[in-house]
Amino acid sequence: MRWIGRCRWVLLSAILLVAPASSLCRSQTAGQGAKSTAANSARPQDAYTLPPAELSKAVSLDRIRDALDFGGSLWNITFLWILLDTGAIAGIEQWTLRVTRRRWLQGLTFFASFLIAVFLAGMPIDWFAQYASRSYGISVQSWTSWLSDEGTSLCLTLLIGVPLLMLFLRIVRRWPRRFWLVAWLVTLPLMAIAVIAEPLVIDPLFNKFEPLEKTDHALVQQLEKVVHRTGINIPPGRMYLMKASAKTNGINAYVTGIGPTKRIVVWDTTADRIPTDQILFIFGHECGHYVLHHIPKGLAISAVCVFFGFWICAAVAVWLLRRRGRRWQIDSLSSPAGFVILLLMLSITGFLFEPAANAVSRHFEHQADIFGQEAIHGIVRNPQKTAVAAFNALGRIWLENPHPNSFVVFWLYNHPSIQQRANFAAHYDPWANGGHGKYFKN
């Protein structure tokens, strides 16, 4: 969601869930944009192609996306280093000590000031991302609406980020040698809470939702066919239409939440602009994440990565404090200013872990693609053509480059490229000669 794209490195790096990065309004279902080589003409075997004019736009936009992704992550790290190296962080801490003698109020004032500074430092990147998205016809969000979302993001940053950072600082003070282990134990339930709460608490702050049955009863009936075939338990009362058209021309459909908060969300742009059979494929893909237990698997993998990530960050932060503490005017990790050293290490670690996290994500997404194509078998006329058409629609609308650079795919893509997905779908026909699918026996 948008607020996470803006604030996730501050809030969630505290629990090492995600790495810092800027994003340029990309679909959750579409593949990520990437740099292109000079040879971008369509190839005979390509299942996803763009006409020359759109291809030129896709190549240019992908270069912007890559610069924002890499540049945003590196700027986050650099800005933290600047705050430490110039003594600005130590200065903020000394100021809070003069303002109040209450320790909890010192922490609140310090972290609020710190998060506001970081937020403002990242706004130019966000502004340019929005400007580019509008220029290429993907975003239709007004600047007033965009500023409102930025303000909401800042409020969430303060309401969630300040208490989180104060909590983890208290852990560092209480367990100076094993704080990373205690922090890891506290992080585990926070990850689950985030997944459960997002559709109820966060999403409605940025977009409007209404029951899908109220606006498109026929689509609900079609989606129920996929629900019945996949076996997931989502009644019509948990199917929603999101008013995405107020902000974007992009299309998407997804399943979100877990347990009692699990629900289907279809963007109104999707319902209005692509055929029903393609919506069913996109929805079948998202159902695959639940049936194949990608959310609990992802949480388990994250838990292991966070364990080692916290351990590494703690060790390096102690070493860094010994080497640079005097210059930075910081004598302990248990001080608010010292805690920023840990945030710096978390930010660096998250950036370096990003390729591994994205590799796991691409694997899950490929499994979901197979599941989605099999889920609509017997419901739509031709699952292969439907899947290929859906990927072409996603690629054209989001201006995805047909031939991305392999290094960018390795580092940035949390989905396989649109070309890879479309090519696989075009050749995936397990039902030929009386066969059956990987996840369905009919």
| Average pLDDT in the chain | 88
CB atoms closer than 10 angstroms to residue 166: 20
Q: What is the pLDDT of residue 44?
A: 52
pLDDT band at 434 (very low <50, low <70, confident <90, very high): confident
Residue 32 lies in a domain: no
Residue 374 lies in a domain: yes
pLDDT band at 12 (very low <50, low <70, confident <90, very high): very low
Residue 251 lies in a domain: yes
The count of structural domains within the chain is 1
22-26, 53-57, 178-182, 271-275: least confidently modelled range? 22-26
Question: Which residues, other chains included, contact 298 with Cβ-Cβ below 8 Å and sequence gap of 6+?
Answer: 360, 361, 364
Residue 380 lies in a domain: yes
Segment 211-222 shows an average pLDDT of 92
Q: What is the pLDDT of residue 260?
A: 84
Q: What is the pLDDT of residue 43?
A: 53
Structural domain boundaries enclosing 157: 13-19+48-442
pLDDT in tens, 120-147: 999 999 999 999 999 999 999 999 999 9
Residue 209 lies in a domain: yes
Indicate if the alpha-carbon torsion angle 262, 267, 268, 273 is positive or negative: negative
CA 423 → CA 391, 402, 428, distances in Å?
A: 10, 11, 9
SS3 421: helix
pLDDT in tens, 143-171: 999 999 999 999 999 999 999 999 999 99
What is the pTM assigned to this prediction? 0.87
For residues 290 and 333, what is the distance between their CA atoms, to the nearest angstrom?
40
Q: Which tokens go with 88?
A: 């600005």
- Pairing, β 239-242 against β 263-267: parallel
Percent above pLDDT 90 for the chain: 78
- Pairing, β 209-211 against β 263-267: unpaired
CA 364 to chain CA mean position, Å: 14
Task: Quote helix, strand, coil % in the chain, to nearest 5.
Answer: 70, 5, 25
Segment 272-280 shows an average pLDDT of 94
Is the pLDDT at 413 greater than 80? The verdict is yes
Cβ distance 292 to 367 under 8 Å?
yes
Cβ distance 288 to 372 under 8 Å?
yes
Is the pLDDT at 31 greater than 80? The verdict is no
Written as one string, the DSSP assignment of 228-248 is HHHT----GGGEEEE-GGGTB
SS3 265: strand
pLDDT band at 18 (very low <50, low <70, confident <90, very high): very low
- Pairing, β 239-242 against β 209-211: antiparallel
For residues 33 and 409, what is the distance between their CA atoms, to the nearest angstrom?
9
Residue 99 lies in a domain: yes
Question: Considering all CA atoms of the chain, what is the largest pairwise distance in Å, rounded to the nearest integer?
Answer: 79
* Alpha helices, DSSP H, located in 205-293: 212-215, 217-230, 268-273, 276-291
Q: What is the pLDDT of residue 15?
A: 37
Residue 3 lies in a domain: no
Is the pLDDT at 10 greater than 50? The verdict is no
According to DSSP, the residues that pair with 380 across neighbouring strands are: 377
The 3-class SS string of 54-113 reads HHHHHHHHHHHHHHHHHHHHHHHHHHHHHHHHCCHHHHHHHHHHHHCCCHHHHHHHHHHH
pLDDT in tens, 300-321: 999 999 999 999 999 999 999 9
Cβ distance 12 to 383 under 8 Å?
no
* Burial classification of residue 176, based on how many CB atoms lie within 10 Å of its CB (0-12 exposed, 13-18 middle, 19 or more buried): exposed
Q: Which tokens go with 400?
A: 């995805």
Residue 140 lies in a domain: yes
Is the pLDDT at 84 greater than 70? The verdict is yes
Is the pLDDT at 35 greater than 50? The verdict is no
pLDDT band at 5 (very low <50, low <70, confident <90, very high): very low
Q: What is the pLDDT of residue 101?
A: 86
